[in-house]
Amino acid sequence: MTSRRLLLTLLVVVTGALVLAPIASADLWSPESGGSPNADDIDWLYKFVFAVAIIVFVGVEGVLLYSVFKFKARKGAVAAQIRGNTRLEIGWTVGAAVILVILATLTFVKLDDIRNPPDSGPDGLQLADTSRRLPPNGKSLNICVNGQQYIWRYTYADDCRTGKNLGAPFAYEEMVVPVNTTVTLDIGSQDVAHSWWIPKLGGKFDAIPGYTNHTWFKVPGKFGLKPGGTVFFGQCAELCGRNHANMTARVRAVSVDEYQRWLEQRKTDIKAAEEAAAAERKKLDSSTTQTP
Amino acid sequence: MAATVEAPTTTVAPLPQVVAHRVEPAPTGWTSWVTTTDHKRIGIMYLVLTFGFFILGGVEALLIRLQLAVPNNDLLTPQTYNELFTMHGTTMIFLFVVPVMAGFGNYFVPLMIGARDMAFPKLNALSFWLLAAGGLVFYASIFFSPPECGWTCYSPLSDTDYLPSGGVDAWIFLIHLTGLSSLVGAINFYATIANMRAPGMGWGRLPLFVWAILTYAVLLILALPVIAAAVTLLLTDRHFGTHFYDPTNGGSPLLWQHLFWFFGHPEVYIMVLPGFGIISEVLPVFARKPIFGYKAIAAATLVIAFLGLLVWAHHMFTTPSPSLVLIFFMMSSFLIAVPTGVKIFNWIATLWRGTIEYTTSLLFAVGFIGTFLIGGITGIFVAVFPVDWQLHDTYFIVAHFHYVLMGGAVFAIFAGLYYWFPKMSGRMLGEGLGKTSFWLMLIGFHTTFLVQHSAGMEGMPRRIYEYSDIQDLAILNLISTIGAFILGLGILVTAINVLVSLKKGPIAGPDPWKGNTLEWFTTSPPPVNNFDAVPRIRSVEPMKDIRRQVLAQTGGNVDPSSPTPVEAGRLAAHGGDEH
């Protein structure tokens, strides 16, 4: 008896510790959010499912534990020979179905906000009307995300088809974006399957060679207030080889001015690098022709 | 009631008892095992082999957890780490959970339906040896280069461009060999259950475990040809110049994912449905109550199997897919929660107002319900596809499927082991060690996997060999690793229990638990031919009928010092001496 009590106490303590430890910390109970409206919507949807789940969990586990303790074999106790109850069966089948209908309805209600990007804010980056992408006003900052073992490449172009984005500014690993601006991503891969995921900016989307996947995010203005902006971390979420763990990604959200300065700097840098490379190539060519 | 129906005249009907006089001495020596076609010996070989693989897979899991115990650990190289989780997943699925159910099925399906063997005993032996060959081919790769593409081996990573070594080929041959093994076995189960049931055992009197094995067999027959085709295409892509999965030559990596999961999701139900069957047998015996809603549970098994074939793309919510596809697979995944919920409610209702005996087997069964419920609930989270976009391929998913497969299927397997070990060995397992093992496993399991939900939501993807010390990942992973070792210790205690009890366990007798089904109507272990006389089946609990008949005919006047009729039959078969 005492050993059983000891075990139960141990069980309660361990469960208690496991439940309480996460409470002390920040956001252990739900997905990351805060960087983009779609991430917030997913978080909200998750929390609703979680609330329903807790009710079901407590109810079912409660009845289970109650029956196990209450109906323990005792002297003189006789088991009731019940073989079933059709009404009860129909009741809990319908009950389970109703809960699922509620969850499905709610998902449909939230779906549009999660899937479809909104317009950029009035103080976001002012874009020319060239993008044919998803926001209602047809304007977004489009970035081509290309997964490769084991780094992400970002090309700032409206058309992501190979050959159509030559000369467009690009970056590796860290993506710089303006706040308050709807950013749409065309996600692809050039070797194996990868998965684009910045938890605070919404869900993950697989980068599969031969396919283009789409998602979006829109970072609220407050994240661009301080110089240097705010960095959101993420990493590849689909096994892509030995260094899958090292295929990290960062999104740095900055003010619109800073973004424009960064983009200009980037263009200049790339141009300078290309010129330097061309000069180097020329030197190499001439040196090889001189000494055949 | 049965006695009066059976004996309308004044002559007393013969007492049902175990008679096994036509038994030849069982052959001994290792050759008798290698050449056997006896379903019980094949069942035991299945169980021993698969538990061996379970231990191997467990050691791999502990190495994985050691590597993840602290951030930025360099205990293992990325290559070794990838090989380990590939071996772990493949071993647990193809070499443990699926075939261990075939092991229990082999031993107990013929006994439970009153048959003397499987329909095709030689095919049955072939099933086992194909499984052994599959395991051998796969594990031989550790001497060369094991596969490192995960148990899902997604293309293009599994193509020769990225993984040229033979490990992936070893994995393909494992799929083929174990697949053939299961396919042959499934046909055998189906034929046996359809044709060899005891007189009077209609479909409405089939034990629920046998219903589960029947459904398991049908699912295997439907799902396995698909994965066999898929890995054959992968093999020809790798070595014979085809481009089924190669996007640069008109192929499609998504084709692999669809084919794989068209098999892969039914595979989940192939793994848990027999576990459900074990739970449905164990609970009524130890609650001393009939199963609540027999028909509902049997029907739910069939509905789960049917819906299980229609949910595969919920593993692919993050791939480029149209909204309609996402919505369809969300709804079908929701639907499958209904029959699963029905089962859980029926099991709890079986315990309700019973007189529950806290045997180790019962504890594992209750632990199963409590744990599996969590796996089912987190399954709803990931069925909501926008939520899955956050949770997919993270440690949340790792936790979810371990709640289903470890807390679900493995706890059920342990309930079955403690329940049936006396029948298979003739000796009882130690209850003290058994309960210690149960509590260690329960506490270890939840310590390992509960915190992984949080790790996943904080941004930790699965299959990464190292992680940075950001957010709470360090402490969460440390807790998880400690839990894994507690869990491992719990499994070790059961292993010791089995080894000790084989020699020293108390003699079980034919029916130590007062069981409901026919396997308890023969000696422990049963003779080669199982039964000389098979009683007529009048209900889903034939042993209750038999006990009632014995009581009615003897008027309860059985001298406690002399053996009961059932006991006497056992003594007659073995000449009174016990091993």
**Structural contact between residues B551 and B565, judged by C-beta atoms closer than 8 angstroms:** no
**Could you read off the pLDDT of B162-206 as tens digits, one per residue?**
999 899 999 999 999 999 999 999 999 999 999 999 999 999 999
Chain A contact probe: residue of B372, B390, B544 with most A CBs at under 10 A = B390
Residue A119 is predicted with a pLDDT of 87
Residue B460 is predicted with a pLDDT of 95
**Inter-chain contact A235–B459, Cβ cutoff 8 Å?**
yes
Residue B14 is predicted with a pLDDT of 61
Interface of B with A in 302-321 (CB under 8 A): 318-320
**Structural contact between residues A205 and A249, judged by C-beta atoms closer than 8 angstroms:** no
The mean pLDDT value of chain A amounts to 87
**Inter-chain contact A67–B154, Cβ cutoff 8 Å?**
no
Question: Residues with Cβ < 8 Å from A289, sequence gap 6 or more?
Answer: none
**Could you read off the pLDDT of A149-167 as tens digits, one per residue?**
999 999 999 888 877 777 8
Q: Does B209 touch chain A (CB under 8 A)?
A: no
**Nearest-by-CA chain A residue for B348:** A64
Rounded CA gap, B180 and B176, in Å? 6
pTM equals 0.90
**Inter-chain contact A235–B464, Cβ cutoff 8 Å?**
yes
Domain boundaries, chain A: 32-69+88-115, 141-276
Confidence class of residue B12 from pLDDT cuts 50, 70 and 90?
low
**Structural contact between residues B362 and B286, judged by C-beta atoms closer than 8 angstroms:** yes
ipTM: 0.88
Topology of domain A141-276, per CATH? Immunoglobulin-like (2.60.40)
Instruction: Please compute Rg for chain A using Cα positions.
Output: 28
Interface of A with B in 93-122 (CB under 8 A): 93, 96-97, 100, 103-104, 107-108, 110-111, 114-115
**Inter-chain contact A242–B338, Cβ cutoff 8 Å?**
no
Does pLDDT of B64 surpass 70? yes
Give the largest Cα separation in chain B, rounded: 85
Question: Residues with Cβ < 8 Å from B289, sequence gap 6 or more?
Answer: A79, A80, A81, A82, B350, B351, B353, B354, B355
Residue B575 is predicted with a pLDDT of 41
**Inter-chain contact A193–B157, Cβ cutoff 8 Å?**
yes
**Mean pLDDT score, B426-443:** 96
Confidence class of residue B296 from pLDDT cuts 50, 70 and 90?
very high
Closest CA to B419 of B406, B428, B410: B428
Q: What is the DSSP string of B487-525?
A: HHHHHHHHHHHHHHHHHHSPB--S-TT--SSGGGSS-SS
Chain A contact probe: residue of B248, B457, B516, B544 with most A CBs at under 10 A = B457
**Could you read off the pLDDT of B131-172 as tens digits, one per residue?**
999 999 999 999 989 999 999 999 999 999 999 989 999 999
Kindly list the structural domains of chain B, giving each domain's residue range(s) and its CATH number in brackets, ordered by start: 41-529 (1.20.210.10)
Confidence class of residue A28 from pLDDT cuts 50, 70 and 90?
confident
Torsional sign, CA B512, B517, B520, B525 = negative
What are the residues facing A233 on neighbouring strands? A250
**Nearest-by-CA chain A residue for B388:** A203
**Mean pLDDT score, B517-531:** 91
Confidence class of residue B3 from pLDDT cuts 50, 70 and 90?
very low
- Chain B residues within an 8 Å CB radius of A202: 389-390
Interface of A with B in 39-68 (CB under 8 A): 39, 41-43, 45-46, 49-50, 53, 56-57, 60-61, 63-65, 67-68
Residue A130 is predicted with a pLDDT of 44
**Inter-chain contact A203–B450, Cβ cutoff 8 Å?**
no
**Nearest-by-CA chain A residue for B163:** A241
Confidence class of residue A239 from pLDDT cuts 50, 70 and 90?
very high
**Inter-chain contact A11–B351, Cβ cutoff 8 Å?**
no
**Nearest-by-CA chain A residue for B438:** A7
In angstroms, the separation between the Cα of residue B288 and the nearest Cα of chain A is 6
**Inter-chain contact B293–A115, Cβ cutoff 8 Å?**
no
Does pLDDT of B9 surpass 50? no
Percent of chain A with pLDDT strictly greater than 70: 87
The mean pLDDT value of chain B amounts to 91
Residue A181 is predicted with a pLDDT of 93
**Could you read off the pLDDT of B207-221 as tens digits, one per residue?**
999 999 999 999 999
Residue B349 is predicted with a pLDDT of 95
**Nearest-by-CA chain A residue for B287:** A79
The strand pair at A151-155 and A170-172 is best described as: antiparallel
**Inter-chain contact B78–A245, Cβ cutoff 8 Å?**
yes
What are the residues facing A17 on neighbouring strands? none
Interface of B with A in 149-178 (CB under 8 A): 149-150, 154, 156-157, 161-162
Residue B574 is predicted with a pLDDT of 44
